[in-house]
Amino acid sequence: MKKQLDLTLYLVLDPLLCGGIDGMVNTAKIAINNGVTAIQLRSEQQFSGKDWYHAALALKDTLSNTPVPLLINDHVDIALATDADGVHIGQNDLPVDITRELIGYNRWLGLSITNRLQLDAVNWHKVDYIGMGPVFTTTTKKDAAPVMGLPQLAELVQLKRCPAVAIGGININNVTEVMQTGIEGVAVVSAICGKPDIKQATLSLIQEIQRAR
């Protein structure tokens, strides 16, 4: 039975910002104890298949006795090998239909979209949620699409047909405006990863999200 997927505060772990696998595990532990509702493993650096595997295993173990699901970015093989709770793919990864066929319906499937054209092409019967962004300028994704901005985000939120999470440059200073578009949640990287006080960073974000709802 798969874990429930709550998109309220979706943490994308970055091994570079967190300080390696141990740093990601430590960040995840603190973050889930203070309000993070979903965890994604993503790496923008040179991460070998073995590194992905060991990182996913360590995170899965960390999350095993919690309601928080673990999703793997791009790497369907790693998700299957470690029995992760789901996969998140982008526009240049395996097609949605193929990914769903590989992972089945007992795992969550998320898809990134960056504009109206991509939103209109979503196979709503195959995906469980979508990621919308980048909303603002981001430094944690090298191949990020052009910035969407709040007006376009608000427009896409009204047109979507499944839950969604906003991503890209979201932090304590702009999370309220993002949530006021009516989106289900926000995904963050540097707003938590690498912060000197991970607990306070997480708590502050959750408090702002709750106020905005």
Three-state DSSP state, 10: strand
Residues at the annotated binding site for Mg(2+)? 74, 93
Do 205 and 192 touch, CB atoms closer than 8 A?
Answer: yes
Q: Is 126 left (phi over 0), alpha (psi -120 to 50) or beta?
A: alpha
> How does DSSP assign 91-110, residue by residue?
TTSS-HHHHHHHH-SSSEEE
Gap between the Cα atoms of 151 and 131, Å rounded: 16
Q: What is the pLDDT of residues 79-137, one digit of tens each?
A: 999 999 999 999 999 999 999 999 999 999 999 999 999 999 999 999 999 999 999 99
Q: What is the pLDDT of residues 121-173, one digit of tens each?
A: 999 999 999 999 999 998 777 677 889 999 999 999 999 999 999 999 999 99
3-state helix, strand, coil in the chain (%, to 5): 40, 15, 45
Q: Rounded to two decimals, what is the model's pTM?
A: 0.96
Residues at the annotated binding site? 40-44, 73-74, 93, 112, 138-141, 169, 189-190
Q: Please give the pLDDT value at position 2.
A: 79
Q: Please give the pLDDT value at position 1.
A: 55
Q: Please give the pLDDT value at position 139.
A: 74
More confident residue, 1 or 39: 39
CATH of domain 9-212: 3.20.20.70
Q: Please give the pLDDT value at position 113.
A: 97
